[in-house]
C-alpha cells in the first residue's frame, strides 16, 4: 500500500469511465482526448487531457495560449519547445513542463525523435489569475520525487504521496501523481475531499478503481471519482504492471468558455483574446515577429 487508510476515510467510487479513442490530427500526429468540452463541468478545474504521439514529420509552429496552465509530461522521445522571447528547451522522456499561459504565451512544439509520446493536461485559472504574467516551470526526470513501497512506485509531480511532497507550486491547487503498481499490488491515496479527482490509465488491463467489486479498467480510459477523501486502486493482473496518473484539483466554480487555444469565462473575453493576438498586443506582442 502507498498510504494507509483509517476508519474515518470515505472511499471515492467511480462515477464515470471514458475511453480516450485514437484520432488522427494532421500529418504524423495521433491523439487520444481524455477530457473534452463535455466533461469540463464535471471535471472542474480541468479543461483538456490529450495523450499524443507524433513523428518527425509533425509539429506545432508558433501558436498562442491564454487563460490556463498546461502540463506536458513526456513518456517517450522528446519535444523541442521554443517561444519568440528566447525561452527554449527540450522536454525529454520523464520530464515535465508546467506552463502558466496567463495573459498570453506564443510558442512552438516540435518532435525531437522518430517516436514521441506524451500527455498534456490543461488546468483552468480563476478569473482573477487569467491575465497574470506567463511563466514556465520545468522538471527533469531526475528532479521528480519518487517513492516505492510494497510493489507500488509513485512519482510525485505535484502534491504529496508516500511521505514525499513536490516543491512545484501550482496556481490552481493540483495533485499530479504517476503510479505504477506491480501485479497483485494496491494503493490507497488520500485526496482533499472537496477536490475533483480522476485517473488516466497509461498501461495495464486489469486495474480496479474505487472498490474491489468494481469492473476492471484497461489502458487509455479516464476514470472519474465521486465524493470522498480516499482513492483506492488494485492491480488484479498476475503478469502485467498497471500504470496510471492520479490527478486532482480544487474546483474553481466559474463559467468556462474554451475556443481553440484560449480558455476564458465569457465569449466576449474569447473575442478579445483573438483580437489581441491578431493585433499583437496585451501579452501577444511577439506575434508580430
280 assigned to some structural domain: no
- Check the annotation: does 188 bind a ligand: no
pLDDT in tens, 4-62: 445 588 999 999 999 999 888 777 889 999 987 778 889 999 999 999 998 888 888 88
Would you say 248 and 191 are in contact if contact means Cβ atoms under 8 Å apart? yes
25 assigned to some structural domain: yes
Cell numbers describing residue 130 = 487569467
71 assigned to some structural domain: yes
277 assigned to some structural domain: no
pLDDT in tens, 230-274: 999 999 999 999 999 999 999 999 999 999 999 999 999 999 999
Residue 196, pLDDT > 50, answer yes
152 assigned to some structural domain: yes
SS (H, E, C) 103-154: CCEEEEEEECCCCEEEEEEEEECCHHHCCCCCEEEEECHHHCEEEEECCEEE
Would you say 230 and 186 are in contact if contact means Cβ atoms under 8 Å apart? no
Which of helix, strand or coil describes residue 201?
strand
Buried b / exposed e across 127-140, counting CB within 10 Å, b at 16+? eebbbeebeebbbe
Closest CA to 95 of 161, 180, 28, 178: 178
Phi/psi for 238 (5° steps) reads -100, -5
Compute the chain's Rg from CA coordinates.
19
225 assigned to some structural domain: yes
- Check the annotation: does 285 bind a ligand: no
5 assigned to some structural domain: no
CATH code of the domain in which 212 resides: 2.60.120.10
1 assigned to some structural domain: no
Q: Which domain holds residue 56?
A: 14-272
- The total domain count for the chain is 1
Amino acid at each position: 500500500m502507498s498510504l494507509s487508510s483509517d476508519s474515518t476515510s470515505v472511499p471515492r467510487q467511480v462515477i464515470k469511465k471514458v475511453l480516450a479513442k485514437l484520432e488522427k490530427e494532421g500529418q504524423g500526429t495521433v491523439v487520444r482526448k481524455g477530457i473534452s468540452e463535455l466533461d469540463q463541468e464535471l471535471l472542474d478545474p480541468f479543461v483538456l487531457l490529450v495523450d499524443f504521439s507524433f513523428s518527425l514529420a509533425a509539429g506545432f509552429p508558433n501558436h498562442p495560449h491564454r487563460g490556463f496552465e498546461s502540463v506536458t509530461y513526456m513518456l517517450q522521445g522528446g519535444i523541442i519547445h521554443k517561444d519568440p522571447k528566447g525561452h527554449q528547451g527540450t522536454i525529454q522522456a520523464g520530464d515535465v513542463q508546467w506552463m502558466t499561459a496567463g495573459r498570453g504565451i506564443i510558442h512552438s512544439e516540435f518532435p525531437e525523435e522518430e517516436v514521441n509520446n506524451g500527455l498534456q493536461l490543461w488546468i483552468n485559472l480563476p478569473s482573477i489569475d487569467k491575465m497574470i504574467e506567463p511563466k514556465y516551470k520545468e522538471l527533469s526526470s531526475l528532479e521528480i520525487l519518487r517513492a516505492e513501497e510494497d510493489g507500488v512506485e509513485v512519482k510525485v509531480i505535484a502534491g504529496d504521496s508516500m511521505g514525499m511532497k513536490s516543491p512545484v507550486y501550482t496556481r490552481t491547487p493540483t495533485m499530479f501523481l504517476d503510479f505504477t503498481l506491480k501485479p497483485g499490488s494496491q494503493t490507497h491515496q488520500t485526496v482533499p475531499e472537496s477536490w475533483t479527482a480522476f485517473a488516466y490509465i497509461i498501461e495495464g488491463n486489469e486495474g480496479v478503481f474505487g472498490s474491489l467489486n468494481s469492473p476492471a479498467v484497461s489502458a487509455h480510459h479516464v476514470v472519474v471519482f465521486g465524493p470522498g477523501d480516499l482513492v483506492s486502486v488494485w492491480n488484479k493482473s498476475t503478469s502485467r504492471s498497471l500504470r496510471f496518473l492520479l490527478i486532482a484539483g480544487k474546483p474553481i466554480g466559474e463559467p468556462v468558455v474554451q475556443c481553440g487555444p484560449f480558455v476564458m469565462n465569457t465569449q466576449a473575453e474569447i473575442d478579445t483574446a483573438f483580437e489581441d493576438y491578431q493585433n499583437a498586443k496585451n501579452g501577444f506582442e511577439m506575434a508580430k515577429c
